[in-house]
Structure 1
């Protein structure tokens, strides 16, 4: 069976690398004939530092599905159209927004130097912070602040893009249309009910909808209706995840 894991808030927490306890059980899945895929809102660049280097050749879905890396190489990328890019830039300016914007590798950032999200951006110094105009293509936009966030969200939605609102962080997460984790899985020739999904947020809904089995970590109201089961986000969360993976590995073998 294929096991697909979101990262932040699912198998790693507060921007810290995945622990050896979780990494060990993921390796056991592979040894037992399963396949492990990581699927995150982070770009590939920012997935690497929280994964031990021995996992860097695993298949990774980044940018909520806009990027795919296989065997350590970027094999798939989808960006906003030139019209969408121009319109998003205009709206960001109109609403005096601050943002984190990702190209395929480098990024642009205009937020506060002490914004907590900055601790998760390129911690391994693998990329460069560049002016917005320097990107040949843009694959993901995070709006951190704006004069009227709800109005901005409404206008950006009209551009035929995918917009997620992360309530806990109060940011807008914007991706090109038809870009989500399930779309990326299909690009990898993975079909409906051919995988097990672990996730914790709204951007995991598409892959939960099409999974053979889905496990929600913590609680998210929108995601909950598509989850097969949930594991409470408690102090012993990693032990519970290991226990669940060992069980699922056996029944889906």
Structure 2
């Protein structure tokens, strides 16, 4: 049995839409013989609606490594320092930057509205007040604008946090120090080999450590992959990889 790891947005999903039925079927067939792990910048709450129900039994890494979900329950979760969160939010509010706060399962929005807020509401009904979420614990702060980004990064550079930039939309997020998909993956599978599919900067470390790295995009954006393909070619490549493994 092999281990296959998939990013979601830009890798198996376009434009924030649910993963197409044909690709879900390919992944479900793969899951019959192999372990599937989905690793995303999204919290697990917003990963599950992207996939068909039969794939919900897979393992999930959310918030860029900030949480892991397996067998219907959260296995690990890392939260930011509350005093730091409060400082960042005051700074974002003063700069009029829209944001999203994620907890283990709940979310909260800035008073400054953004279309992405409605997208999240379309996926989940777990919205609570900012104060309630801060009391629960914040796993990720997602900035929905790169305006004043240098100012925000200057504020956080002395803190024990990780910053992840989303190449496709210009958003960026803050999680606890050391959070990344590969670290969370290592906590789950140790030193076992795996095949990884990704498309963005937050996938680079995970892809670099993969036995087989599949990049959805061009070599100029990530020069260390085994395969470079478009999303539509994933089912065909999966059949090829399985055929090679059994040859």
Q: TM-score, normalised by structure 1?
A: 0.87
CA, structure 1 residues 114+86, in 2 after alignment: closer, same or farther (shift >3 Å)? closer
**Could you say which residue in structure 1 is the equivalent of 2:245?**
252
**Could you say which residue in structure 1 is the equivalent of 2:52?**
52
Deviating 4+ runs (over 4 angstroms): 111-114
**Could you say which residue in structure 1 is the equivalent of 2:42?**
42
Secondary structure at the residue paired with 2:42? coil
Quote the Cα distance in structure 1 between the aligned partners of 2:94 and 2:132. Answer: 17
Quote the Cα distance in structure 1 between the aligned partners of 2:158 and 2:50. Answer: 35
Quote the Cα distance in structure 1 between the aligned partners of 2:137 and 2:203. Answer: 24
Q: TM-score, normalised by structure 2?
A: 0.89
Quote the Cα distance in structure 2 between the aligned partners of 1:111 and 1:228. Answer: 44
Structure 2 regions of 5+ residues with no counterpart? none
- Over the aligned positions, Cα root-mean-square deviation in angstroms equals 2.1
Aligned length: 244
Matched-pair contact (CA < 8 Å) for 1:153–1:172: no
Residue 99 of structure 1, CA deviation: 0.6
CA, structure 1 residues 111+215, in 2 after alignment: closer, same or farther (shift >3 Å)? farther
Quote the Cα distance in structure 2 between the aligned partners of 1:241 and 1:86. Answer: 42
Residue 92 of structure 1, CA deviation: 2.3
Matched-pair contact (CA < 8 Å) for 1:80–1:139: yes
**Could you say which residue in structure 2 is the equivalent of 1:195?**
194
**Could you say which residue in structure 2 is the equivalent of 1:12?**
13
Quote the Cα distance in structure 1 between the aligned partners of 2:112 and 2:82. Answer: 28
Residue 21 of structure 1, CA deviation: 1.0
Matched-pair contact (CA < 8 Å) for 1:96–1:146: no
Structure 1 regions of 5+ residues with no counterpart? none
**Could you say which residue in structure 2 is the equivalent of 1:242?**
235
**Could you say which residue in structure 1 is the equivalent of 2:227?**
229
Residue 112 of structure 1, CA deviation: 5.5
Residue 221 of structure 1, CA deviation: 5.1
Matched-pair contact (CA < 8 Å) for 1:46–1:122: no
Matched-pair contact (CA < 8 Å) for 2:146–2:172: no
Secondary structure at the residue paired with 1:121? helix
CA, structure 1 residues 132+95, in 2 after alignment: closer, same or farther (shift >3 Å)? farther
Matched-pair contact (CA < 8 Å) for 1:6–1:204: yes
Matched-pair contact (CA < 8 Å) for 1:64–1:179: yes
Secondary structure at the residue paired with 1:230? strand
Residue 98, structure 1, aligned to residue 98, structure 2:
yes
**Could you say which residue in structure 2 is the equivalent of 1:154?**
154
Quote the Cα distance in structure 2 between the aligned partners of 1:112 and 1:87. Answer: 17
Quote the Cα distance in structure 2 between the aligned partners of 1:154 and 1:202. Answer: 20
Secondary structure at the residue paired with 2:122? coil
CA, structure 1 residues 146+133, in 2 after alignment: closer, same or farther (shift >3 Å)? farther
Residues 136-184 of structure 1: CA deviation (Å, up to 9, x unaligned): 2110111123762222123223313111222432222111111110111
After TM superposition, the structure 1 = structure 2 runs for residues 48-197 of structure 1, keeping only pairs within 5 Å, are 48-110=48-110, 113=113, 115=115, 117-132=116-131, 134-135=133-134, 136-145=136-145, 148-191=148-191, 194-197=193-196
